Structures are given as C-alpha cells and as structure tokens.
Amino acid sequence: MAHLAPSQTAIFSPSVARAAASTAKDWSYVDNWLQNKYAGSSFNRGKPPSFERNPETLKALLALAAANEAADEDREQLARFEESALDEVRAAERHQELKRKQAEELVVPGGEAIVNDLLAAIRDGLTKEGKTALDSMAAMAVELGVAHASPEALGAKYVELQGRAFEVDDAFERVNLLQQYLVRESARMDAFIDELQRGGAYQLKPDLARQNLELQRKIKSVATGLPELRQQIIALEKSIGVPGLAVEEVREDEEAYLELLARKKGLDAQVKAFAGLPPDIEAARVGLDALRTELRDATEQRDANFEKLVERESPAKNRRKL
C-alpha cells in the first residue's frame, strides 16, 4: 500500500474501497512483473529502478506488461512450432534411415541396376506435365521432410503448414498493433511530461516563497496573541456573567417558538382573505362595499332562481298527486 496517498488510507465509500483494492492489485501485479524481469540482472543489483507512482504510470506499465506477455506467448508458440517441425523432420529422417537400412539388407545382386532401369523407363514414359508434377512432388516432399510421399499426405502437410503460417501472421499482427499502441502511449506520455515541465499552469509562482514567509509571520503573530485573547475572554465572562442554558429552558423556548409559529399561520390565513384589496383604507372600504353589493345581488338572484324553480316544479307534483 505504499503507492497510496496518506489521505486515501481512510476509505468510507464501498466504491472507493473497490477502486483502491483494484489499484493495489494492479500495482502488486506490476511490481511482481518488474521483479521477475530484473531478477538476475546486474543493473541496480537486480532491483527495478525507482519511478513515480501515479495512474498514468500504472496504465502504461499494465499495457507494457500485457504486450510483453503477449510477445512471450507468441515466442513460446513459435518455439513449439519449430520444435514440433524439428521432431517431425527427425522422425522422418529416422524413418528414412530405417527404410534405407532395410532396403540394404534386402537388396539382391544387380537389384539396384534393375530399379534404376525401371525408374528410367517410367520417367521416359511420362509426359511433360507428368514429369513436372513428379518433380514438384519430389521437391515438396524434400522440403516437407516426408519420406514416402503421396498426394494426400503432401496436401495435408501443406494445409497444416499453411494454417501455421496464418497463425504466425495473426500473432505478428497482434504484436504489431501492441507495438503501435505502445509507441502512441509513449509519445503521449512524452508530450504530457514536456507539458508538465514547460507549461506555466504546473509551475510554482515566483513569489510563492515570499507568500509562504508572510503567512508564517501572520500565523506566528496570531499565535502569540491567542493567550492574551483567551485571558480577555475569561475576564469578560467573569465580569458580565454569561448565563448557562439548561435543557428545560431550551424546551420552553422551543414550545414558545412553535406557539408563535402556529399563531403566525392563523394570521396569514386571515390576511389572505383580504388579498387583492388596495393598501389605502378608504379605497379598501370602497372595494369591500362593492364586493358586499355584488354578494347581495348574487344572493338575490339565487333566491329568485330558486323561487322560479319551485313554481315551475309545483304543478307537476300536483298532477302526480291527482
């Protein structure tokens, strides 16, 4: 946890804790990878060089470790392919040597001449295309290390080698992409470092030392005056007598405040009924009289409408009774 800042030692958020744990795991992986790479090296007694630990450095080292592991895997795969090919070549050579020894043991006097005559007769009987095909098969068998070649065996071997070549090309493309990514990241880091070194936003102010000295002088002057201020406060408290608050007094003040708040709400409701009236008293009275007149007119109209309704409905009720 040495790469964490002191302010990050106390973590209260689960998300921050998970991020810190993931960062610590990444740094542990990078440290182990650097230890393995520098182990046994004469540089710095086999220890990795010191560097600044920050998110940008961690990201670059993780990318470098991933590229290195991918390159190691590609090298191991190529080594396995080469070893497998060499084993096949050795097996073919051993098989060919065994066949040769068996042929030497079974050879009869004059048999080699008969075989040569037979092969010459077969070669002479072949067409031009047949000779070309036979020479191609022979050259391919020699290149592939196949002792007893047949078109099917040569085709299968060729397809297998073609698949391996595609795999090698794919691995080369991946390594090339990783190399390009590392080149871009390295250029970006160089530009960022150059910006940090030359940019004015990250440079210290020229008068920072003077400001620091002034702040230190102010702090010292205030610190020297603190005991005197404390004595003055104590003397003032003794002379005035600052009353102490009790729980009961606080409760009573709270009840009085709540009562005043309830009264305020009631008064607000009463005042709201007079909303819209002019601020002048006479104008307000005139407006109030007008509203009362409108109320009386509305009441009279309501009573008149009600009487008309009753008169209109009464004959119908009498007819239903008859």
pLDDT tens, residue by residue, 14-38: 777 888 888 888 888 888 888 887 7
- Which residue type is seen at 129? E
pLDDT for the residue numbered 86: 83
Cα diameter, the chain: 154
pLDDT band at 122 (very low <50, low <70, confident <90, very high): confident
- With a cut of 80, say whether residue 145 has pLDDT above it: no
pLDDT, tens digit (0-9, with 9 covering 90-100), for 157-191: 778 888 888 899 889 999 999 999 999 999 999 88
pLDDT for the residue numbered 253: 87
pLDDT, tens digit (0-9, with 9 covering 90-100), for 197-253: 777 666 777 788 888 889 999 999 888 888 888 888 888 877 776 566 677 888 888
- Token duo for residue 202: 């990250």
SS3 of the chain? CCCCCHHHCCCCCHHHHHHHHHHHHHHHHHHHHHHHHHCCCCHHHHCCCCCCCCHHHHHHHHHHHHHHHHHHHHHHHHHHHHHHHHHHHHHHHHHHHHHHHHHHHHCCCCHHHHHHHHHHHHHHHCCHHHHHHHHHHHHHHHHHCCCCCCHHHHHHHHHHHHHHHHHHHHHHHHHHHHHHHHHHHHHHHHHHHHHHHHCHHHCCCCCHHHHHHHHHHHHHHHHHHHHHHHHHHHHHHHHHCCCCCCHHHHHHHHHHHHHHHHHHHHHHHHHHCCCCCCCCHHHHHHHHHHHHHHHHHHHHHHHHHHHHHHHHHHHHHHHHHC
pLDDT for the residue numbered 5: 44
Whole-number average pLDDT of the chain: 79
Which among 40, 64, 42, 67 is positioned nearest to 51, based on CA atoms? 64
pLDDT, tens digit (0-9, with 9 covering 90-100), for 63-111: 888 888 888 888 888 888 888 888 888 888 888 888 777 766 655 455 5
pTM to 2 decimal places: 0.28
Residue with more model confidence, 316 or 262: 262
pLDDT for the residue numbered 181: 92
